[in-house]
Structure 1
Amino acid sequence: MTNRSVIFFDIDGTLLTHNKELPASTKEAIFTLKELGHEVAIATGRAPFMFEELRQELDIHTYVSYNGQYVVLNGNVLHTNPLHIESLEKLTAAALENDHPVVFMDHEDMRANVPEHDYIKQSIDTLKIDRFPTHDPHYYKGRDLYQTLLFCTEGEEKQYAEQYDAFDFVRWHPVSLDIVPKGGSKAKGIQKIVDALGFPAESQYAFGDGLNDLEMLSTVKNSVAMGNGEEQVKEVARFVTKSVEEDGILHGLKMVGLL
């Protein structure tokens, strides 16, 4: 097949409904894409261990995780961009004084710097995963971390964003944000994959719905925002499909001519 394309899918609110269910039409569409010879990949803010079952179910082995900080191509690590540990240590100490817990995350696990906190439970529970961060305040020492979760209410993160310029802060829940390396994004992770595979811009597609998809959807030429997506996301995308609950992936793939 000469006109192969590469398609990147966000997970939450894109592949999965808000109840974290995979629509049958989406699963069928993914396998049809693969049968047609296209490259199918995932681009998510999640850690690799948070969507292992989904990768197995969809037989997908290429992905951008941690919003671009840990990139895998055909099962092999292609690119990593760890957090600046010294800056993270200072931020963690300041956050602890403000009763703002953090969860340290590498490619294998996640550990909290406090034994328990309601904000951690509130946000992690919405992911509906079978893993919860255990307590290890020193987990950041001696290992590469690709993302850290900061738990605070909207607006409280401003003090950290102003003081710690080594990081970007991306909110994904009313009481939780992703801390990622400054300038790191899904778009940059995607670029590593398309460079390795040699896909031209016109053969690149991306689907997303959230604020951490903004750079991806404004960079990838054929970008599709979900109908349930944030208004800012719809504004930067080239196309807008139906919501994930309304077979939005299948509709969107037909809209752009891939199916």
Structure 2
Amino acid sequence: MPYKIAFFDIDGTLLDEEKQIPQDTIDAIRDLQASGVPAVIATGRAPYFFAPIAEQLGIDSYVSLNGAYVVYKGEAIYRRPIPREDVEILVNHASTNSHTLVFEGHDSFYRNTESHPHVFNSVASLRVAQPGFDPNFWQNEDVYQIFLHCTADEEHLYASANPGLRFIRWHDTAMDVLTNDGSKAQGIKALLKLLNIAPEEAVAFGDGLNDKEMLEVVGLGIAMGNSVEELKPYANYITTDVSDSGIRNGLVHAGLIK
């Protein structure tokens, strides 16, 4: 089947362990774009976390915040904030457990405590600026995703705390919090509907737990060689590592570049 669009996760997919885009990946994306097939970012990151990456690759369309905020050619076409009542429940529960939250809007993000090493360490791992401080941000602005800062052995405290939310670990001290049915797949489907492209005509690349639904919804789901093992059973194809021409080899397998 001739594929018409390709979606790319960022961390561990477009970016290597040093948070750099390998030159071979840059060249492969440019070859894809030259063929007329659009490249779209699909990430758990907020837009302000990856603007330089998108600019470097010449990409102006993205599925961000794990599918909750979608932009096509610079224009927002889909928004799915977390219901405020669900945020309030989590705020109260996290406060009881003395866990810090970071609220992510579409253009800014704020923590609800003055400072915390878990916040600093997790955000620093993304190599982006630290969040501001505004414990009331969620009351005044739409929140598309939340960082909940706790360790793996504390996750059980949230297992049944709020059935409207789901939790996906991305750091030793942090989890993404999104709507219970939220995923990159939801944002991808919204963009494909706008473009009149069938899911079977799309390719997606990923490496983490939050890529599972994305790889399942498209016609060709490609897991990076460096993917977490739990993701690989959901892929149609496993390419090489991000630092070993993983993107190029996956695009060649898909028949999108030579």
Q: Same fold (TM over 0.5)?
A: yes
What does 1:98-137 align with in structure 2 at a 5 Å threshold? 98-129=97-128, 131-137=129-135
Tell me what 1:7 maps to.
6
Tell me what 1:65 maps to.
64
Give the aligned length. 256
Identity of matched residues, %: 40
**Gap change, CA 1:55 and 1:150, over 3 Å in 2:** same
Q: Secondary structure at the match of 1:246?
A: coil
Tell me what 1:181 maps to.
179
Q: Secondary structure at the match of 2:160?
A: helix
Cα deviation, residue 161, structure 1: 3.0
What does 1:67-86 align with in structure 2 at a 5 Å threshold? 67-86=66-85
Cα deviation, residue 4, structure 1: 5.9
Q: Distance in 2 between matches of 1:101 and 1:190?
A: 30
Q: Distance in 2 between matches of 1:48 and 1:155?
A: 30
Q: Distance in 1 between matches of 2:153 and 2:76?
A: 35
Structure 2 residue corresponding to 1:200, chosen from 187, 198, 222: 198
Contact map agreement 2:3 2:256 (CA 8 A) in 1: no
Q: Deviations over 1:189-241 (max 9, x none)?
A: 10011111112334210000000001111221101000000112111100000
Q: Secondary structure at the match of 2:70?
A: strand
Across the aligned residues of Structure 1 and Structure 2, the Cα RMSD in angstroms comes to: 1.1
Q: Deviations over 1:33-78 (max 9, x none)?
A: 1110001101000001000111111111111001000011111111
Q: Distance in 1 between matches of 2:74 and 2:23?
A: 25
Deviates more, 1:193-202 or 1:165-174: 193-202
Tell me what 2:33 maps to.
34
Deviates more, 1:190-199 or 1:158-167: 158-167
Q: Distance in 2 between matches of 1:128 and 1:224?
A: 26
Q: Distance in 1 between matches of 2:8 and 2:153?
A: 29
The TM-score, its normalising length taken from structure 2, stands at: 0.96
Contact map agreement 1:4 1:39 (CA 8 A) in 2: no
Tell me what 1:142 maps to.
140
Q: Distance in 1 between matches of 2:223 and 2:244?
A: 13
Tell me what 2:164 maps to.
166
Q: Does 1:258 align with 2:256?
A: yes
The TM-score, its normalising length taken from structure 1, stands at: 0.96
Q: Distance in 1 between matches of 2:184 and 2:153?
A: 24
Deviates more, 1:78-87 or 1:45-54: 78-87
